[in-house]
Structure 1
Amino acid sequence: MNKPSPHGATHGHDESNHGNHDMGSVNRMAVSATLHCLTGCAIGEIVGLTIGTALGLSNLATIALAVALAFVFGYSLSTLPLLKAGLALGAALSVVLAADTLSILTMEVVDNLVMAVIPGAMNAGLVNPIFWVGMMIALTAAFFAAYPVNRVLLQRGKGHALTHQYHGAEETSTGARRFIPSFSTGALVAVIVAFMLGGLVVSVADELTQASPGPSHAKALVPQF
């Protein structure tokens, strides 16, 4: 009876560890890619909803504007690092369109469906807590919907795998490209979370202000002798 050699067993163990390492790397990249796209979508949607509300646009027009800006900001955030890495604008856009379109599309479909399901979220103004709570729920759902999409694309060498080869190249950029800003995914997410929490706090404060009696009303409640 032939026994497996220790060398063979060790080699098999190394292959297993290598496979687990690759899987962990793909998972981390998928999380990073999803958060990056989600940040661009959130910025675009908030800006679009703010403009639509300020201009008094209809719900449909406001949503269309928010979705369009979500794609614009999502593509822009992914294009800047490629430009800094030395790619021409046309080449960078072609890479980003291939890498991000399916992820952003998935997010926008799920995000708007969730917002439509939450009662009053679509019609709520920017100073309404329902809007900010609904947006947080919708973006969370969009993340979990887009994560497996990005993971499958990465495993097939597509999606953000197309941009991964340029990561780090921006550190050697020269000329005017040195001044192209670099935004880490963590910093972008922190800004969006802070902004949304700030919007929620302001809207709650506005609700409390409207619910509390004003000075004239409070004066009327004081017994007159």
Structure 2
Amino acid sequence: MQTVLSLLSSPWFLVAWAALMVPCVLWVIRDLATKNAHLMSLMKVVWVLTVLYSGPLGLLIYRSCGRKEIPRDTLWRRGFRSVAHCYSGCGAGEIVGLLIAVGLLGLGNIGIAALTFVMAYVAGYALTVGPLVQDGVPFRTALWDAVLSETPSIAVMEIVAISVDLAVSGKAGMGEPLFWSSMIVSLTLGLVAAYPVNVALIHFGVKEGMMDPRHTHHAEDHDAHGAGAPQTG
């Protein structure tokens, strides 16, 4: 464990991460602009954020599950698209929550965990409720649908991510490499932990998951959930 902490505390870890992550993000942006421009703007943001948070792993998920070039769609691919959708919003909320809790308010671990958890839920729900409301679903129906379909995924993702982040970073401040390194590691572990939850939710019909990218059209691309949500195929 001490060896891992020493590695994450080194600024060279962040340099190496940037050297891996930036080309991955640029590749995804180029691919979305040239070969997968048919995807809705929301999903383009989802994929860019997923790769921004998780670098090569995010790129692997996009290449194998999120492009029209996939040979066929499967439950495991739908699960990855669904968890990426959740991850992009929750990750943004978690990052903002950490920056506010640590950088602005100087909270202790309990305060950091609480604020980060709330921010992740708000961002995660917003990314689901917003598109549904735009499609004409009443706000209360869209919110209830988000609660049913996203709560298990967000809960697992954030419990794992926040626990790992607090355990690894300790009392590191924003000026220390360990603060940012632990955020990178914890976000990715949260993604991995929430993946089987999304597969189970799709398998049992709690939500449909994101539409097959080979059949996506601008007016139809959003996350479909329970019976009250618009269907996407």
Tell me whether the two structures share a fold, i.e. TM-score over 0.5: yes
The total of aligned residue pairs comes to 150
The 5-angstrom pairing of residues 121-140 of structure 1 reads 121-140=169-188
The 5-angstrom pairing of residues 1-225 of structure 1 reads 24-52=73-101, 53-118=103-168, 121-158=169-206, 160-161=207-208, 171=219
Please state whether the residue corresponding to 1:87 is helix, strand or coil.
Answer: coil
Per-residue deviation, 1:106: 0.4
Give unpaired runs (5+ residues) of structure 2: 1-70, 224-233
The equivalent residue for 1:11 is none
Once residues 145 and 217 of structure 2 are traced to their aligned partners in structure 1, the CA distance between those partners, rounded to angstroms, is 15
Per-residue deviation, 1:86: 0.8
Per-residue deviation, 1:85: 1.0
Decide which structure has greater helix share: 1
Q: Which runs of 4+ in 1 moved over 4 A?
A: 167-170
Q: Contact (CA 8 Å) 1:99, 1:163: kept in 2 or not? A: no
Please state whether the residue corresponding to 1:93 is helix, strand or coil.
Answer: helix
Q: Contact (CA 8 Å) 1:84, 1:170: kept in 2 or not? A: no
Per-residue deviation, 1:104: 0.3
Q: Which amino acid aligns with 2:203?
A: Q
Gap change, CA 1:143 and 1:108, over 3 Å in 2: same
TM-score w.r.t. length of structure 2: 0.57
Once residues 218 and 124 of structure 2 are traced to their aligned partners in structure 1, the CA distance between those partners, rounded to angstroms, is 19
TM-score w.r.t. length of structure 1: 0.59
Q: Which amino acid aligns with 1:35?
A: A
Per-residue deviation, 1:163: 7.8
**Superposed CA RMSD:** 2.9
Once residues 139 and 159 of structure 2 are traced to their aligned partners in structure 1, the CA distance between those partners, rounded to angstroms, is 28
Per-residue deviation, 1:122: 3.5
Give unpaired runs (5+ residues) of structure 1: 1-20, 173-181, 185-225
Q: Contact (CA 8 Å) 2:129, 2:142: kept in 1 or not? A: yes
Once residues 156 and 59 of structure 1 are traced to their aligned partners in structure 2, the CA distance between those partners, rounded to angstroms, is 36
Q: Contact (CA 8 Å) 1:85, 1:169: kept in 2 or not? A: no
Gap change, CA 1:151 and 1:71, over 3 Å in 2: same
